[in-house]
Amino acid sequence: MGDIIGGVTGYSTWATLRQAAGTNNPDTPPLVTGDYNREYPSGNYFLKTTEGNGLIRTGGFFRPGAGFTLLKSNPESVGIFYCGGFVEPDNETILDKAVSMTDGSFDIEPEAFTDGQYVGTDPKLPFTGVELFDFLT
């Protein structure tokens, strides 16, 4: 299936296929956007890869960007972790990599890409890092 390159609005080339990784950490700062332009703000919301140009594959214009989500259900206070939007081979690359939270850490398991990974009770949010990634400074 093809992807739209060179459209008249939005993104035309690299930004169609590559993005920074997102998180669900709180206090989401606003993106600075315009046609063919995207600025990711500093903070603990977006992640860049430690190697390369910092961007990861998105899988295409119509697919959501990749990111990490750590949820805390109530009232059970069960922590569930998801990896979404990653495409081959990035999903294999981040498998088994460490995710750090305020009060501990865990390694990414295959369930994180499907039904969600159980990461214990009462996890201290937000998570503070993902191996192979850095928060934007």
* Interacting residues toward other proteins by CB under 8 A: 5-6, 8, 11-16, 18, 20, 32-43, 46, 48, 53-55, 136-137
Side-chain half-sphere exposure of 82, counting CA atoms within 13 A: 14
Closer to other proteins by Cβ: residue 41 or 110? 41
CB 65 to other proteins: min, Å: 12
User: How many Å separate Cα 133 from the centre of its chain?
Assistant: 10
Closer to other proteins by Cβ: residue 5 or 98? 5
Closer to other proteins by Cβ: residue 32 or 104? 32
CB 36 to other proteins: min, Å: 5
Closer to other proteins by Cβ: residue 79 or 85? 85
* Residue of 83, 54, 55 lying closest to 68 (CA atoms): 83
- Identify the H or E element spanning 100: strand 98-101
CB 25 to other proteins: min, Å: 15
CB 58 to other proteins: min, Å: 12
* 117 and 68 Cβ atoms separated by less than 8 Å: no
In the sheet that 117-121 helps form, which strands lie side by side, from edge to edge? 117-121, 78-84, 67-72, 21-23, 43-49, 133-136
